[in-house]
Structure 1
Amino acid sequence: MKRHLLPVLLTALLIGTVAQAQQLEGVYAGAELYNTPFNGMQISYLAFYLRKDKTFSDKLDATDWQTHKSGTYSVNDGVLQLVFANGEDSKKYRLSKNGNLESTAGIKHTLHKLQRVDRIPEGYYQMKSADYSGGMGTGTPGVFSSASKGLYFDGKGHFSLDGSRLVSIGGDAAGGTVAGKFEKNKPPTGGTYQLTNGEIVLQYNNGTVSRHSFFYSPPKEEDLVLLDGVFYFKEEPENTTTSASARSSHTPASSATSSTDISATASLLEKLRQRYGGIAIDKIVRLKEVATISPNLEAVTLTDISNQKMRIEIRQGGKLLLVKMMDKNSGWQWQNGAIHSMAPDDLTEMRLSLYQGVLGLHQKLNTFFMNGTVSSKQGDYMVTFSVNDKQVVYLVGGDYSMKGNAYSITGKPNISVYKKFIQTEGISFPSVTESSDGSHTITVTTTAVVINPVIQDTEWAQP
């Protein structure tokens, strides 16, 4: 191609893109990774309905979602700008050739254009949420609640629902399963559905009818359904036991027991070590973990226990988005080509991760655990200890299963729940971790764990 033709072609492409932009209409949705000042990386799910009249709505759960106005948008030089009526910071996205929207600031993310459909293939889709109140630093018991809801479509016009709810007070379960394993068309959690022009009408077997906004993204894109603006990702349903109604129980605080006896913590630590790998855990010197972060991010974590080094890399579609590196008491962060010293709270968060999960049971890392306080309630245990005045909690089942961890940097805790443990070289690691700061939940699925890999100096270097 002759060089003098390039500006002409680029101008033509730009004009074509802008012309297309004037006809923007539809729902765009995606996930934005961002940093919080107290709990590190979190995910915010975004969905916008854009109209030809240059207005948009981010309230797809409203009954008037088709006419509700959250703000206005403009398109200049192929860049879409969303201006919110409530004064919220505006957002900018560049129109891509495939019709999606690409972020222009912060950690790169994509808003995919979703489809209005008149049928949906057979599949199971699940939504998860979490919330936290009280707890560390508030003088009141910490209450953590999590919920999930599943949608099953048989591809032939029938649906069924399932769901679960857990309420934990001070780390002890005070709730239970609401529905459990889904059953096709079991009243009142099933029925028939109709899809028309961006909406789904659910007609339950008990006669109830409800109408919701509904959009779809196929497997080669986001593989989800958007119901009332809520993301339901496609996955395999869990084999849980069906329960027709919620189980609820409450145990007075007086029934709980606690102990600072080192023999109690030592005994609990040994039980955990036996269950999750024993002396094999102590043989870990270096660790490499590869994972996916819902919906479309990849993460690689390198850990060197002896040298107290840790590195986290986040990619999207193979492109590097973010690097965080801890080296003993210092650290740096790379993002969008710029390198900065790591914020103190982010550095503390990375350091605390050494004392949680399976690594926290390591002989070289479990001293803080040994000096902790054990409380028991309804047969489960909670171990609380401090690492340089920052609180860390282990949630342990009565069968000595590792249920999760919590920690606090500024008073509000981050809670991680561990699921589906898999064994690597005699050590059991959780393959699924669900983390929440009380406002947002991210799901991290570990795809590979390498124990004591050879890590070259270049792998610790700045990009």
Structure 2
Amino acid sequence: MKQFLLVLSAFLFCFYDNVFAQDKLDGVYAGCEFSPSPIFGGGMNRTDVAILFRPDGTFNSSLNSADWQTNVSGHYTISKGEVTLKYTKSSSVYGITKYGSLSNYAHELFKLQGNIIPPGYYSFISAMGGGGAAYGTTYVGALSTQGLNFDGNGHFSNSRYSGSVVAGENVGGGSSSSRNGSGTYKINKGVLTLTYTDGHTELHSFFCDMGGKTRMAVVDGRVFFVDNDDNTTANNTKSSTAAKKTSENSATNASNAAVPNGKTLLLKANAAHGGDKLNALKTARLTGSVSGLKVVELIDIPNSKVRVEIWKNGKPVSVQQTEGSNGWQWSSGNKSDLPANNVAEIKTALYTGVIGLRKSSLDQMQVINTQKIPDNDMYTVQCRLNGNEYVFAINNQNQLMAYGYKVGDKTLFAMLSDLRPVQGITIPYREATTSGQQKLNIQYESMDVNPVLDGQSWAVPAGN
């Protein structure tokens, strides 16, 4: 924390004349707050933050409310390059960066505008999961996606998809639905008006950025990211079409289909994702990116060690590391013991996702339930290990399409996509994850199979 504050203070000092003279803010600032959790086996936690500042010293942090233009969440003041937000029962402080954004340790908020919409496809993904045999309830996982496509000439189209996975001792199933629409749009001072072809209209609060490496928009307080990857879009379209055909075929034969043995399904998934190559995995280094943040995870399976690093502006700002049954955490110069519940959760990286399909891992697990999901032609296999619960969702090609876990009172659910081979192991490069109400779409960039992880790899970051 000290190091981050020193860097921030240096920035503020250099730009004293421009920044310190500012005493009012006007407009919407938004971004995402992330906290570390196992990447490959668990994901990260995300909270969307969007705040409307007014020149009169008031602000509104509830852009999803009908009265967002006039609603007051609290008051703010600016002093010596810092913005202090005062709510009824709490307060928060942001530093003003040289670029005009607002930054604290947890996240950075960027200035958006509400009169122009750059053309592109803006997408939002949410997911949730909960329940399980240990709690005497059915495990339920759900995913929903929403996309808005603007052509820059006043026309839009949108798409909504939702799906669910259900796995319990006496029940099993799932469902999916989709809804699309199109029409014309207008934007004026943050008010987006969508007029559909059938004549009905919708009003939303809408603010977006005009450039930068990571493009985003805030719609009703939720952060949408711009996806201009044509290949990804095409692949997703093909996948959706294939899933629909599969669903139609499986619904016809569902009543006659026998549920295979759960362990057999897991072993088939093991073979589909690499077999002997996957089983021989000892160490791994995974690198991903989330809204400008770099995330690195190191895994040492034989020594039961997992390390999660979060980087910002080219420097590590947070590290959590397990070492056997213990662990420690580091945050901008400060090191402390990692609470036992955090250790247990981070170590799920050894037993979930594709890494959890290693044969040595499967041999330790007790299969407690297997169910077929007719609408999606998938199977869910529910397992237990060391008092924790794990769920694997496997499609008719023996590919892992989703997973979930419950460790203590913490539940996570993830949907997987963009499968790619890496040195003989097939891994997903995209995960839509959630933990509680916190959602995240993770994009992986690389995976190193069996890298040499020396002492420096596991060292406490230098600096104060």
TM-score range, shorter chain: 0.7 to 0.9
TM-score normalised by structure 1 residue count: 0.85
- Greater CA drift, 420-429 or 283-292: 283-292
Letter in 1 for 2:19: T
State the SS of the aligned residue for 2:114. coil
- Aligned residue for 2:5? none
Structure 1 position 243, deviation (Å) = 11
Q: Does 1:459 align with 2:454?
A: no
The answer as to whether partners of 2:26 and 2:52 remain within 8 angstroms in 1 is yes
- Aligned residue for 1:175? 175
> Which of 431, 438, 441 is the matching residue for 2:439?
441
Q: Does 1:74 align with 2:77?
A: yes
The answer as to whether partners of 1:135 and 1:412 remain within 8 angstroms in 2 is no
Q: Structure 1 residues 116, 320: CA separation in 2 closer, same or farther (over 3 Å shift)?
A: same
Structure 1 position 343, deviation (Å) = 0.9
Per-residue displacement from partner, 1:281-335 (whole Å, max 9, x unpaired)?
1222211111112x22111111122222221111123121111111222211111
> Which of 285, 297, 303 is the matching residue for 1:307?
303
The answer as to whether partners of 1:108 and 1:321 remain within 8 angstroms in 2 is no
The answer as to whether partners of 1:315 and 1:321 remain within 8 angstroms in 2 is yes
Taking the TM superposition and a 5 Å limit, the aligned residue runs for 1:382-421 are: 382-421=380-419
- Aligned residue for 1:123? 120
State the SS of the aligned residue for 1:52. coil
Q: Does 1:212 align with 2:198?
A: no
For 1:328 and 1:123, locate their aligned partners in 2 and report how far apart those are by CA, in whole Å: 47
- Aligned residue for 1:94? 95
Structure 1 position 18, deviation (Å) = 3.2
State the SS of the aligned residue for 1:364. helix
- Aligned residue for 1:185? none
For 1:407 and 1:167, locate their aligned partners in 2 and report how far apart those are by CA, in whole Å: 15
- Aligned residue for 2:314? 318
Structure 1 position 265, deviation (Å) = 4.0
For 1:82 and 1:110, locate their aligned partners in 2 and report how far apart those are by CA, in whole Å: 15
For 2:178 and 2:292, locate their aligned partners in 1 and report how far apart those are by CA, in whole Å: 29
Structure 1 position 456, deviation (Å) = 2.3
For 2:13 and 2:264, locate their aligned partners in 1 and report how far apart those are by CA, in whole Å: 71
Structure 2 unaligned blocks of 5 or more: 1-8
Structure 1 position 32, deviation (Å) = 1.0
State the SS of the aligned residue for 2:68. coil
Taking the TM superposition and a 5 Å limit, the aligned residue runs for 1:8-407 are: 13-14=15-16, 16-20=18-22, 22-34=23-35, 41-85=44-88, 87=89, 89-103=90-104, 107-118=105-116, 120-170=117-167, 173-179=173-179, 189-220=181-212, 222-235=214-227, 236=229, 237=233, 238-239=236-237, 240-241=240-241, 264-293=261-290, 295-369=291-365, 371-377=366-372, 378=374, 380-407=378-405
State the SS of the aligned residue for 1:218. coil
For 1:308 and 1:267, locate their aligned partners in 2 and report how far apart those are by CA, in whole Å: 26
For 1:427 and 1:12, locate their aligned partners in 2 and report how far apart those are by CA, in whole Å: 49
The answer as to whether partners of 1:380 and 1:397 remain within 8 angstroms in 2 is yes
Tell me how many residue pairs correspond in the alignment: 429
The answer as to whether partners of 1:383 and 1:394 remain within 8 angstroms in 2 is yes
State the SS of the aligned residue for 1:365. helix
Letter in 2 for 1:385: C
For 1:159 and 1:10, locate their aligned partners in 2 and report how far apart those are by CA, in whole Å: 41
Per-residue displacement from partner, 1:254-284 (whole Å, max 9, x unpaired)?
999889xxxx344223311221111111222
Structure 1 or 2: more helix by fraction: 2
Letter in 1 for 2:94: Y
Structure 1 position 415, deviation (Å) = 1.0
The answer as to whether partners of 2:121 and 2:149 remain within 8 angstroms in 1 is yes
The answer as to whether partners of 1:434 and 1:444 remain within 8 angstroms in 2 is yes
- Aligned residue for 2:448? 450
The answer as to whether partners of 2:24 and 2:78 remain within 8 angstroms in 1 is no
- Greater CA drift, 345-354 or 234-243: 234-243
For 1:308 and 1:12, locate their aligned partners in 2 and report how far apart those are by CA, in whole Å: 46
Using CA pairs below 8 Å that are at least 6 residues apart, which structure has the higher relative contact order?
2
Percent sequence identity is 29
